[in-house]
Amino acid sequence: MFGHSYLWDSAMWAPQVAALKGSIAASCPSCGATAIPTRCPRGLHLATLARDHLALLDALGIDEFVLVGLSIGGMWGVELARMAPARLKGLVLMDSFVGLEPQITCERYLGMLAMIEQLGTIPAPIVEQVAPLFLPTGRMPT
C-alpha cells in the first residue's frame, strides 16, 4: 500500500503501481479509497486514517502488506503498523515525521487547505510556502 504526501493524491504513485502491476497487488488510496472519502474532512486524525486504510485492506482480503508512506502517508502508516503489526511485512517511511505535530503546524496546514478549498486552486503564496518542502532549491522547475 502506498500513502501519498500532503497536498497530493494517489496519482503521485502511478509509476510505481504501473511497475508492480502483474507481480503484486498495489493499492494507493487518495487519503482514502473505496470506503474512505477522497477528501479528508477537517479534524480527521491519523488513527482514523489508519483504521480506514486497515478496513480497506480487510475489504480487499489482503492479510499481509508492505506500506510505503511519504509525508502524511508515513504518519498514518506508523499508526497502521501499531494496529496490525503481525500483518505488516515492511514499512518504508520517506520524509515523514513520527510524533505529534505541534498545534501551530497543524493550524498552518489546515489554513492552507482552507484557502485552497475556498479558491478552488493553489494560489501563488501557498506554492511559495510548499515548494521548499518538495524542491531542494525552493524554486519551481522551469
78 shares a domain with 41: yes
83 shares a domain with 38: yes
127 shares a domain with 93: no
Res. 38 pLDDT band, cuts 50 70 90: very low
Pick the closest to residue 68 from 85, 53, 90 (CA basis).
Answer: 90
Q: Domain range for residue 65?
A: 2-98
Find the CATH number of the domain harbouring 31: 3.40.50.1820
pTM of the model as a whole = 0.69
pLDDT of 42 higher than 60: no
27-35 long-range Cβ contacts below 8 angstroms, 24+ apart: 27/1, 27/2, 27/56, 27/57, 27/60, 27/62, 28/1, 28/2, 28/3, 28/4, 29/1, 29/53, 29/56, 30/4, 31/4, 32/56, 34/59, 35/59
30 shares a domain with 65: yes
Per-residue model confidence (pLDDT) at position 36: 36
117 shares a domain with 77: no
More confident call, 112 vs 79: 79
Per-residue model confidence (pLDDT) at position 97: 80
